[in-house]
Amino acid sequence: EENGHPNKRLKRDTDEEDAEERNKKSPKRKIVLLMAYSGKGYHGMQRNVGSSQFKTIEDDLVSALVQSGCIPENHGEDMKKMSFQRCARTDKGVSAAGQIVSLKVRLIDDILEKINNHLPSHIRILGLKRVTGGFNSKNKCDARTYSYMLPTFAFAHKDHDVQEGVYRLDRETLEKVNKLLACYKGTHNFHNFTSQKGPRDPSAKRYIMEMYCGEPFVREDIEFAVIKVKGQSFMMHQIRKMIGLVIAIVKGYAAESIMELSWGEEKVDVPKAPGLGLVLERVHFEKYNRRFGNDGLHEPLEWTEEEEKIAVFKEQYIYPTIINTEREEKSMVNWLNTLSIHDFNSSVVGMQANNKNSK
């Protein structure tokens, strides 16, 4: 100031200086974000840089992080600069209620509100926690839980003429479904449940902790049920194929023996259920929580306080999308009509021939 008169300066200059000052005051820290999203209309979670015609969840997320001032604009193109890592790479059309991403951000005030202001309503950041500097959401994750919501008429036997709105799952069929789903528990070779993996590829072996189908319920005249599966990690299309094979067996297209056969070295034609009903429910960090969760500096990666927000998001955006899309596009009905095209018998015949030879 000179003679008591402030210097006149361009407002834009001061705004830029203020922004720089703020950025200096908000250092970058490693955090995790708890995300929920409805995956309809997206080509999965993972960003395809340079391929803008395939929109992904991460495209919208990175854009919101830049616009809210959490990350510098030049980091948006190269997410390695912010140590970005998603916990699970959900497929095209798949939703999430508890996806976790880890990254370095500037810890600005009202950070969640600011990020959410730049996101569409069907993508929300529901929680944030500080983590250790070396934390990586993919590598530190011990297990992932998915759910798959499907209309129960998917389990009706192929020889029965079924009216979609009238069908109700009986106790006996539900027990059969659960008996088959329980067979997946343990470690198996799932090379037939994904693409581009051979039977001798060690990474095709996966460990499943639990898998079951819950009690059916009715929504808008259609009866649905939810299958839950918890596993260490899953390969592309693995869960949809695990469910697809069980449906094929329950409907009478394939023999039960095909499940055992599918874990062997022979190539088995495993059908892939539609992506619509699949939801990443939650990810588990048990080892990390034991080591760092109570060290006085970091919180355990558990989201009990966010449970209600997660439930509300599912009711508002995930379940209605699954139900309405099923009614309008009939993805399950159309997929069930393709099951007769699959050749399950050739695999079984091959197995029987092998058994005779070995005897």
Active site residues: 91
Residues 6 or more apart whose CB falls under 8 angstroms from that of 316 comprise none
Cα(6)–Cα(21) distance, integer angstroms: 20
Burial class (CB in 10 A: 0-12, 13-18, 19+), 6: exposed
Confirm whether residue 207 is marked as ligand binding. no
Instruction: Determine which helix (DSSP H) or strand (DSSP E) holds 223, and give its type and residue range.
Output: strand 222-231
In this structure, what token pair is assigned to residue 252? 């009478």
Question: Are residues 316 and 97 in contact, defined by beta-carbon separation less than 8 angstroms?
Answer: no
- Taken in order 60, 61, 62, 63, is the CA torsion positive or negative? positive
φ and ψ of 248, to 5 deg: -60, -35
Nearest by Cα to 318 from 356, 281, 264: 281
Which residues sit in the known binding site for substrate?
146
Which residues sit in the known binding site?
146
